[in-house]
Amino acid sequence: MTASPLRNRIGQVFVPVRDMPAAVAWYSALLGLDPGGTSHEGRIHDLPTEGEVGLALDAHHPGFTADGPPRFFWWVDDLTAVRDHLDALGVERVGDVTDIGSVAFLQFRDPDGNLLMACERR
């Protein structure tokens, strides 16, 4: 196998959004964060994360389509609590908790239609 100059380590995940203020408010409420400020002329908003992988809202390409698989997932300890939290916020859930053996997951959409997921190890 040939060595690669790419490190096998994710640095940042970008989530495309159309309405930055609405997306910042939604993600801040979802994650219980202080909204903070945006950068790059209001087109990038870095959300604080635990661990090394960053999460940024990106309004540079408002014509994106939100189809396809989940953009990423969050590890959680209690999917029932997550489901209740999503319901309290009025978040659109896609189905209910699904258990596939090694993990259970719950999918939901952000205001731009991006499919997101929460996973609990089993």
DSSP string computed for 25-54: HHHHHHHT------BTTTTEEEEP-SSS-E
- Helix, strand, coil percentages in the chain from 3-state DSSP, rounded to 5: 20, 35, 50
Mean predicted confidence (pLDDT) in 24-39: 93
State yes or no: pLDDT of 23 exceeds 80: yes
State yes or no: pLDDT of 78 exceeds 90: yes
Q: What is the mean pLDDT of the chain?
A: 94
92/49 Cα distance (integer angstroms): 23
Phi, psi of 79 (to 5 degrees): -65, -30
85/108 Cα distance (integer angstroms): 12
Q: How confident is the model at residue 12 (pLDDT cuts 50, 70, 90)?
A: very high
